[in-house]
Amino acid sequence: MNGNKVIIGMSGGVDSAVAAWLLKRDGYDVTGLFMHNWEEDGECPAASDWRDVQAVCEKLGIECYSVNFAKEYADGVFEYFLREYRAYRTPNPDVLCNRVVKFGAFRDYCNRLGADFIATGHYCKRDGDRLIKAADGNKDQTYFLNQVKTEQLCNVLFPLGDMLKPNVRAIAEELNLSVARKKDSTGICFIGERKFKKFLSGFLPAQSGDITDTAGNVVGRHDGLMYYTIGQRRGLGIGGVKGEAGRWFVLDKDVKNNRLIVSCGDESALFSRELTGSELNIIGAFDMPKELRCTAKTRYRQPDQAATLFVGEDGKFRLAFDEPQRAITAGQYAVIYVGERCLGGGVIEDRA
């Protein structure tokens, strides 16, 4: 096989480990590359992950290296994360990490090393310049790749695209890999197991204020508007209302008056049929009409929702759903699908 040099991004988890084995099995010349994306004093989870990568690569008989992209991550992802929270929005840094680091800095680095292909352990497929859903609907990760540019995918391999997660773990068990039973990582990578409020308060000062119901009655105190998201129920620190069914949930943020607006019981005010967005990114060649029937999702693992996409200028768009959607949140991503194809997505600006 000519032109078979593959560098695969390895995280220390079971998915990238099995992806590396699949590539080697198929005859590729495989090298593992671990990305160190966050600098921190003391014992960092990345140190343990790197040891796992080394153990897996030794078992598979492939070389592995570590590269530091902490500056690229800090400048391109973490600053965005803080900027969005300063604006009292709810960002998704993992989406931007894919575009800036995993398919940006990492891809460029691998190309300079002479790689013919790069690979990752994402659950998704590529068909030419099109991004396609994975065979495992429970693990499909196209949502997190909605901001990746077309050219960033041109020489990318996704070995797990046709795999089911239980089969991936079974392969790791058969190979006696040390990560076979390692838990999947969850949450934002640079926060890890720490309390979100404590972490964020170290970078952004928070101003406490009143929690009010829709009539303006004060029902509690919040620790800072940045800590809450639309539709949130837990962690509000207020009890139920006597004689009224249901639990409190976040309905809105009154930034001007530093008030968190909550409601109890009826959730109808949380539902919206439309949203507006910006920074629409289209992956692959596509003849975009002014109105496109599609499906879309506004959060990961949400079932696809039937909708119509209206595309404006300068990346602006409007998405009208057939059915009302709960807790559409500014700062998150609306991801667009046409059948099994992930067409791309954009940042949610507002709901209507």
What is the C-alpha separation between 352 and 347, in angstroms, rounded? Answer: 15
Nearest to 173 by CA among 185, 182, 184: 182
Q: Which amino acid is at 165?
A: K
Q: Among 57, 64, 189, 342, which one carries the catalytic annotation?
A: 189
- Note the helical H segments in 194-255: 196-201
Q: Among 57, 64, 97, 264, which one carries the catalytic annotation?
A: 97
Nearest to 272 by CA among 312, 321, 306: 321
What is the C-alpha separation between 139 and 122, in angstroms, rounded? Answer: 9
What is the C-alpha separation between 115 and 51, in angstroms, rounded? Answer: 24
How far is CA 330 from each of CA 7, 70, 252, rounded to the nearest angstrom?
Answer: 36, 27, 11
Look up residue 185 and give its DSSP letter. Answer: P
For residues 236 and 227, the answer to whether their CB atoms sit within 8 Å is no
The CA-based angle 160-162-163, given to 5 degrees, is 60
Look up residue 302 and give its DSSP letter. Answer: P
Tokens in use for 246? Answer: 């249901």
How far is CA 223 from each of CA 229, 231, 235, rounded to the nearest angstrom?
Answer: 13, 17, 10
How far is CA 132 from each of CA 101, 141, 294, 327, rounded to the nearest angstrom?
Answer: 21, 10, 14, 27
Tokens in use for 152? Answer: 């960033």
Tokens in use for 61? Answer: 């008989």
189 classed as catalytic: yes
- Helices and strands of the chain, counted as H and E runs: 8, 17
57 classed as catalytic: no
Nearest to 185 by CA among 299, 321, 94: 94
Query: Which residues are annotated as catalytic?
Result: 97, 189
